[in-house]
Structure 1
Amino acid sequence: MRENDEDRSWIGRIADAFEAAGGSGSLSNAALDIAATGQAAPALQRLFAEHLTPTEVAERWAALGLTTADASVFDGFPTDVLARLGNLEGVPYWARSTANALVLNQRLVDVERQIEQLERTVASAGDGSRVLARELTARYADRKALRNVNAALTKKGSDGKRFLIALTDDRPPLAAVSIGDLDRAKSATWAVPGMDTTTADMTTWARAAQNIADEQTDVADTTDVADPSDRAVVAWVGYTTPGPQDVLLMAKAKDGGKRLADSIRGFSAFRGTDDVQTNVVAHSYGTTAGAVALAERGVHVDRFVALGSAGLPDGLDDAQQLHADQVFAAQAKDGPTGESGQGDEWATFGREKSLAHRVDPTAQGFGATVFGADGGTGSEGQTLASVLHHAPVFKDHRGYLDRGTESLHNVALATTGQDELLTGARDR
Structure 2
Amino acid sequence: MRLGRAASVVALVVIGVVGITVAPLQQNPVATSRYAFLDAMSSGKQDAYLQKHPDAAVGLLNLHPEANAAAWRDFPKDLRHDLAETLPSLIGGMEGVDYASRDVANRTWLRSLIGSAQRAVKKHPSDAVAQQKLRCLLAIKAALRIHKPHRYLVDLTNDPKPLAAIAIGNLDTTRLVSFTVPGMGTYSDDMQLWALGAQNLYDAQGGAGATKQRATVAWIGYVTPPPGIDAALGQYAHIGAQNLIEALEGFWAVRDPKTRSGKSASTKARDTITLNVVAHSYGTTTAADALAAKDLNVYSFVMLGSAGIEQSVGSARQLHAKHVYAGEATGDTEARWGRISRIDPRSPSFGAIPLAVDGDPNKDELPVTGHAPILHSDWNDNPMSSAWAKFTNVDEFAQKYLDHLQTYGYLDAGTESIANVAAVTVPPHHTDAHDATVSP
TM-score normalised over the length of structure 1: 0.75
After superposition, the C-alpha distances for 1:30-89 in whole angstroms (9 at most, x for unaligned) are xxxx9xx9815232675969556211111100121126x964x45851xxx210110111
Give the CA deviation at 1:141: 1.5
Q: In the alignment, does 2:247 pair up with 1:263? A: yes
Check 1:44–1:106 CA distance in 2 against 1; reply closer, same or farther (3 A cut): farther
2:370 aligned residue (356, 376, 389): 389
Q: Tell me the distance in 1 between the aligned counterparts of 2:346 and 2:368.
A: 16
Check conservation: 2:102, 2:155, Cα contact below 8 A: yes
In terms of Rg, which structure is larger?
A: 1
Specify the alignment match of 1:114 in structure 2.
120
Q: In the alignment, does 2:281 pair up with 1:293? A: no
Q: Tell me the distance in 1 between the aligned counterparts of 2:410 and 2:111.
A: 33
Aligned residues: 344
Give the CA deviation at 1:143: 1.0
Give the CA deviation at 1:137: 2.8
Specify the alignment match of 1:13 in structure 2.
none
SS at match of 1:226: coil
Check conservation: 2:166, 2:218, Cα contact below 8 A: yes
TM-score normalised over the length of structure 2: 0.73
Check conservation: 2:88, 2:105, Cα contact below 8 A: yes
Q: In the alignment, does 2:52 pair up with 1:55? A: no
Give the fraction of aligned pairs with identical amino acids, expressed as a percent. Answer: 35
Q: Tell me the distance in 2 between the aligned counterparts of 1:83 and 1:112.
A: 19
Q: In structure 2, what residue type is equivalent to 1:167? A: L
**Where does 1:26-425 land on structure 2 (aligned, <5 Å)?**
39-43=11-15, 46=18, 50=60, 53-66=64-77, 71=81, 73=82, 77=86, 81-118=87-124, 133=126, 136-156=127-147, 159-220=148-209, 225-227=210-212, 230-243=213-226, 244-272=228-256, 273=266, 274=269, 275-333=272-330, 343-351=331-339, 353=340, 355=341, 358-377=342-361, 382-395=363-376, 396=405, 398-417=408-427, 421-423=438-440
Q: In structure 1, what residue type is equivalent to 2:140? A: V
Q: Tell me the distance in 2 between the aligned counterparts of 1:404 and 1:302.
A: 24
Check conservation: 1:305, 1:329, Cα contact below 8 A: yes
SS at match of 2:360: strand
Check conservation: 2:72, 2:80, Cα contact below 8 A: no
Q: Tell me the distance in 2 between the aligned counterparts of 1:421 and 1:40.
A: 49
SS at match of 1:142: helix
Return 5+ residue gaps in structure 1 as ranges.
Answer: 1-33, 120-132, 334-342, 424-428
Specify the alignment match of 2:44 in structure 1.
none
Check conservation: 1:74, 1:98, Cα contact below 8 A: no
After superposition, the C-alpha distances for 1:5-41 in whole angstroms (9 at most, x for unaligned) are xxxxxxxxxxxxxxxxxxxxxxxxxxxxx9xx98152
Check conservation: 1:281, 1:306, Cα contact below 8 A: yes
Q: Tell me the distance in 2 between the aligned counterparts of 1:416 and 1:75.
A: 33
After superposition, the C-alpha distances for 1:278-334 in whole angstroms (9 at most, x for unaligned) are 00000010000010010123422111001111101113222111110111111111x
